[in-house]
Amino acid sequence: MDFNNELRHWYQENKRDLPWRNTTDAYVIWLSEIILQQTRVEQGMPYFNRFLEQYPNVSSFAAASEDEILKLWQGLGYYSRGRNMLKTARLVQEAYNGQFPNTYDQLIKLKGIGEYTASAIASFSLNEARAVVDGNVYRVIARYLGIDEPINSTKGKKIFQQAANDLLNKQMPGSHNQAMMEFGAVICKPKNPACGICPVRTGCYAFTHNAINLLPVKLNKVKVRERYFNYFLVTDGHNVLINKRDQADIWANMYDLPLIETISLLPPGELFLQPEVIEFFGPDLKIAEISAVKKHVLTHQRLYVRLVILQNQPLKLKEHWFYTSVEDLKKLAIPKIIFIFIKNIFNL
C-alpha cells in the first residue's frame, strides 16, 4: 500500500474548507497556526476571524497595544501566545518592512515560533519541503508505523521527526502536511478513531496488532498544581476596584480583581481572619454576597475561584489596585473566569 497516495486521495475528497487553507499569505497562516495551538478548530475559528478582521495585515497587528491584543484573545487561554504574537508582529514590521517572512530559516528566529510552526508556515506558504509534526501527526505516525518511543522524550522527538521527514511528499509538502494533520484530527483521533473507514488501516501497525489504545506513548505529565483564589469585588455600582497583574504568574499583564490566595479552600470565617485580608480590608468586613466556588482548569494548574462582594468597604489600596468605571470593564483584558463573574453582576 502506498501510504502517501492513499492519504492524498483521502484528503482531496474529505478535507474541511478552512479559510487559512485558501491562501499562501504567511501572515494569515501564522495567525491561524498560533491561534490553533492547544485549541480545537471549532473554538479557534471565531478568534481567527475576529483577529483577521481587526488586523488584516501584520502592520495593523504591530500597531496594536498589548491590552487590545489580550482583550481580543480573552477566553482562548495560553495568553503568552498573544503577547508573543505582538512581539513577532512588531519585529516583522521593523526588520522585514511589514512583509511576513515565509522561509523556515527566517521564521525560526521569530518569537513564539518553534520548529513545528516554522515548518508549517514555510510549507503552506512557500511549499518548502519541511515535515510538520504536531500532536495529530505524532499520533498517525506512532500508530501506523508502530513506534512506542514516548512522543515527549528527547529521543522520541528525533525519531518522529525523522519518520515524518521520510514520509514527506517532497513534490507537494504543503498539501501533504495539511493531509497528515487533517487525518489525525478527523480519522486517527485520540479516542475512538474511525478505523472502520480508514483508507490505510491494512498497513497500520496499531490496527493489525490491536494496539490502537496503546499508541502513541507519552511520559507522565507534570503534576498539576492546585491553587485557591479568593477575589474581592469592591464597587459603588459605578466604579470597580481592579488589579493589574504582574508578569511573574499566569495571566501576565492582564486585569483581575483584588486577590487573596490561600493554600487551601478556607471557610469564609477563616478566610476573613487571614492577615492579608485584615490588612487591606480591615477586621470588620461588610459582605454583600459570597459566590459558590468555581473550578477553572489550566494546563498545569487547577484553580478554585470564589468571589466575595463587599459593600461600602473602607480599605487600604495595594500597589497595582485602581478604580475604573463599570463601562470601561469591557475594554480591559480580563481572564474569562473572572470576567464571567463581573459580566453577570453588572449585566455587561
State pLDDT tens for residues 123-166: 999 999 999 999 999 999 999 999 999 999 999 999 999 999 99
Span between the terminal Cα atoms of the chain, in Å: 58
Grid cell at residue 25: 499569505
Residues 6+ apart with CB under 8 A from 303: 227, 228, 229, 295, 296, 297, 337
What's the pLDDT score for residue 81? 93
Q: Is 33 a catalytic residue?
A: yes
**For helices 41-54 and 66-73, what crossing angle results, to 10°?**
150
As a whole number, the mean pLDDT across the chain is: 94
* Active-site residue (options: 6, 33, 128, 182): 33
Asked if pLDDT for residue 271 goes beyond 70, the answer is: yes
Mean pLDDT of 330-336: 94
Mean pLDDT of 195-199: 96
State the Cα–Cα distance between residues 67 and 77, nearest whole angstrom: 15
Instruction: Please answer whether residues 318 and 242 qualify as being in contact, where contact means their C-beta atoms are separated by less than 8 angstroms.
Output: no
Mean pLDDT of 236-259: 93
* DSSP-assigned letter for residue 339: H
Span 52-107, pLDDT tens digits: 999 999 999 999 999 999 999 999 988 999 999 999 999 999 999 999 999 999 99
Mean pLDDT of 252-273: 95
Share of the chain above pLDDT 90, in %: 88
Question: Which structural domains are found in the chain, ordered by start?
Answer: 3-208 (1.10.340.30), 225-346 (3.90.79.10)
Q: Is the dihedral of CA 329, 334, 336, 341 positive or negative?
A: negative
Asked if pLDDT for residue 314 goes beyond 80, the answer is: no
Asked if pLDDT for residue 1 goes beyond 70, the answer is: no
| pTM of structure | 0.87
State the Cα–Cα distance between residues 272 and 281, nearest whole angstrom: 9
User: Distances from the Cα of 120 to the Cαs of 8, 140, 173, 215, 334, in angstroms?
Assistant: 17, 17, 10, 24, 31
